[in-house]
Amino acid sequence: MIPVTKPYLPSRENLEKYIDGIYERQWLTNNGQLVQELTQRLEDYLGVENLLLVANGTLALQVAYRALGVSDANPAKRPEAITTPFTFIATASALKWDGVQPVFADIDPNTWCLNPANIEAAITPNTRAIVPVHVFGNACDVEAIDAVAQQHNLKVIYDASHAFGVNYQGESLLKHGDAATLSFHATKLFHTGEGGAIVFKRKQDLLRAQKMISFGIAGPETIEEVGINAKMSELQAAMGLCVLDEMEDNLKARAQVWRRYEHGLNPSLLQQAKRETLVYNYAYFPVVFQAQEQTVRVAARLKENGIMARRYFYPSLESVECLNAPANQPVSSDIASRILCLPIFDQLAESDQNKIIDLIEVETEQ
């Protein structure tokens, strides 16, 4: 079976060296040595400041929402946040879980990111924030979104789960917004098995979040606010350090896979339009077929041949009843119905990839 993705497993010998250190120190969590080292190395690698490691990407969203005051709800007026329906469920469900109503605005038909032109109409007196997603690592129109946010005094939290290492206009894409969140799940380009991070624009927001992820504790006998346990462990950090050690090899291998798809697939298939000056991370390879029926047929044919592709993101989130945000989003609904993410990981053999391309070619010619 060829999976849609496969976790990158770094040198076991290197990992065991980090684990030996954990055993020697007997310090497993609570901002240990490896968490501190990984924090500094990631800030250096990504070119950012105010990075906070957490236990997973969903907690990264929830802590960012709370640290920036989005989910400090007035019981009489439920806060709202404008976000995209074309994303993984966690972007919206993390809002809903914390008492914030997600309000969807439709996406751009080319970049598949939140369309700034649709944000204004969705703003109400209860709107606290805009939560765009750098979909598949493609940059949102950050300039236009930030302009709307400033005009209406709204926070901007970018879900940058797919955007590890992505640069835009010569700088890290993670520098935009009041905060940007990352997922370090096992299937991501960079991972810690499970994990995540938040990059804050302001130091004071980082300091507040540091307390929040450790139960609101500010000192041995001081609790300053309601918090949660969202800390990253030393074992997670050990995996992250090993993956980071080998990041350039991983990126190079994924880039080769990505380019083989780009050159081998039928040019009639719709691909995501990348923003100009974007330095991409080759995290995903999505394609959009002419009709939903064709997408379903291609996915079924691939599965019959032991190949797993994923309808990512399907369904469009305005159709998810528990989110209670049913307003029609035609562009997102259309793209979601026709999209398929193809297998991409560093170990994908060229022969297997050629098989995938050939099977798609047969189905699209019918």
Question: 16 falls in which pLDDT band (50, 70, 90)?
Answer: very high
Question: 146 falls in which pLDDT band (50, 70, 90)?
Answer: very high
pLDDT at 292 over 80: yes
Question: 365 falls in which pLDDT band (50, 70, 90)?
Answer: confident
- At 74 the pLDDT is 56
What is the average pLDDT across 161-171? Answer: 97
pLDDT at 73 over 70: no
pLDDT at 267 over 60: yes
- At 219 the pLDDT is 86
Distances (CA, A) of 83 to 267, 278, 302, 347: 31, 22, 33, 34
Look over the chain and give the mean of its residue pLDDT values, rounded to a whole number: 96
Closest among 338, 302, 294, 271 to 136, alpha carbons compared: 271
- Cα diameter, the chain: 70
pLDDT at 224 over 60: yes
pLDDT at 76 over 60: no
- Helix (H) or strand (E) run with residue 172 in it: strand 171-172
Each residue of 59-72: pLDDT tens digit? 999 999 999 999 87
- At 303 the pLDDT is 97
**What is the distance in angstroms between the CA of the first residue and the CA of the last residue of the chain?**
25
Of 50-59, 72-81, 240-249, 263-272, minimum mean pLDDT range = 72-81
pLDDT at 264 over 70: yes
What is the full DSSP assignment across 123-145? --TTEEEEE-B-GGGPPP-HHHH
188 is catalytic: yes
- At 366 the pLDDT is 63
Which long-range contacts link 202-206 to residues 24+ away (Cβ below 8 Å)?
202/50, 202/178, 203/49, 203/50, 205/50, 205/67, 205/68, 205/178, 205/179, 206/50, 206/52
pLDDT at 160 over 80: yes
In eight-state DSSP terms, residue 342 is P
- At 218 the pLDDT is 87
- At 251 the pLDDT is 97
Each residue of 84-107: pLDDT tens digit? 999 999 999 999 999 999 999 999
Q: How far apart are CA 104 and CA 86, in angstroms?
A: 9
- At 100 the pLDDT is 96
The phi-psi region of residue 232 (left if phi > 0; otherwise alpha if psi is between -120 and 50; otherwise beta) is beta
Q: Which domains does the chain have, with CATH numbers?
A: 12-244 (3.40.640.10), 246-364 (3.90.1150.10)
Instruction: Considering only residues 174 and 219, tell me which one the structure prediction assigns the higher pLDDT.
Output: 174
- At 71 the pLDDT is 87
Q: Which entry of 188, 201, 211, 231 is annotated as an active-site residue?
A: 188
Q: How far apart are CA 290 and CA 75, in angstroms?
A: 46
Q: How far apart are CA 19 and CA 32, in angstroms?
A: 13
Residue 82's DSSP bridge partners are 103, 130
pLDDT at 108 over 80: yes
- At 75 the pLDDT is 54
pTM of the predicted model as reported, rounded to 2 decimal places: 0.96
- At 271 the pLDDT is 95
